[in-house]
C-alpha cells in the first residue's frame, strides 16, 4: 500500500482471458520514450514551439499592433495598391506557413492522445483490447462497434432510470465486455 491508502496498480500478475497468467510489462510507447527521450526532430521542436508562441496573448497583441500600424500608414501611402498588397501578401505568407506548423502539432497531439488511450485500454483488465487498433477498422466495422456500444449505453441508461424510480436493481455486476466479432 502507498501513503494515500491505495494499492499501486500492477503489483500482481494479471489473468488473461484464457486463464493463463501474464506478467505486466511496460507499454511499447513507454519503452520507446525511455530509449528516445529528447530525440524529437528539429521540425517537431520548431512547430511545437512556434504553435505555443503564436497561440499566446503576446503574439495576438503583436498581430493586432501590425494591423494597427498598417491602418495608420494608410493615409501616408494614400491607401495605394502597394499599401494593400503589403498586408495581403504578409498575411497570406504567414497563414500559408502556419497551416503546416499547426497541422504538424495537431498530428503529433492526436497521435499522442491515441497512444495514451491505447495504453489505458491495454492497462484495464475489463477493457476490450480489440479496440486498441480501432483506427485500422473499416467504416462498416466502426459502425458495428458503435451500434454495440449504443446498445450498452441504452441498457445503462435504463438501469439508471430504474434506480431513479426506486426499483430494485440487480447486484452490481463486473463491467461488461462488448463482443466485437460475430
pLDDT tens column, 68-112: 999 999 999 999 999 999 999 999 999 999 999 989 989 999 999
pLDDT per residue over 100-129, tens digit each? Answer: 998 998 999 999 998 998 899 889 988 888
Q: Please state, in angstroms and as integers, the Cα–Cα distance from residue 123 to each residue in 120, 126, 135, following that order.
A: 5, 9, 19
Percent of the chain with pLDDT over 90: 38
pLDDT per residue over 30-48, tens digit each? Answer: 555 444 446 788 988 888 8
Relative orientation angle of helices 57-72 and 81-123, to the nearest 10 degrees: 170
Task: Print the SS3 string covering 56-67.
Answer: CHHHHHHHHHHH
The partner residues of 14 in beta bridges, in order of sequence, read 22
Amino acid at each position: 500500500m502507498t501513503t494515500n491508502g491505495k494499492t499501486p496498480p500492477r503489483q500482481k500478475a494479471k489473468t488473461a482471458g484464457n486463464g493463463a497468467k501474464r506478467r505486466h510489462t511496460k507499454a511499447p510507447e513507454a519503452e520507446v520514450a525511455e530509449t528516445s527521450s529528447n530525440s524529437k526532430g528539429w521540425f517537431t521542436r520548431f512547430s511545437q514551439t512556434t504553435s505555443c508562441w503564436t497561440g499566446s496573448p503576446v503574439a495576438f497583441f503583436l498581430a493586432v499592433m501590425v494591423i494597427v500600424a498598417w491602418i495608420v500608414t494608410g493615409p501616408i501611402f494614400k491607401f495605394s495598391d502597394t499599401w494593400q498588397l503589403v498586408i495581403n501578401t504578409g498575411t497570406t505568407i504567414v497563414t500559408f506557413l502556419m497551416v503546416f506548423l499547426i497541422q504538424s502539432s495537431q498530428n503529433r497531439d492526436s497521435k499522442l492522445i491515441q497512444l495514451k488511450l491505447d495504453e489505458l485500454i491495454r492497462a484495464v483488465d475489463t477493457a476490450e483490447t480489440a479496440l486498441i487498433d480501432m483506427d485500422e477498422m473499416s467504416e462498416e466495422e466502426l459502425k458495428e462497434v458503435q451500434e454495440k456500444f449504443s446498445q450498452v449505453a441504452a441498457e445503462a441508461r435504463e438501469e439508471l432510470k430504474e434506480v431513479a424510480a426506486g426499483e430494485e436493481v440487480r447486484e452490481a455486476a463486473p463491467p461488461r465486455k462488448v463482443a466485437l466479432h460475430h
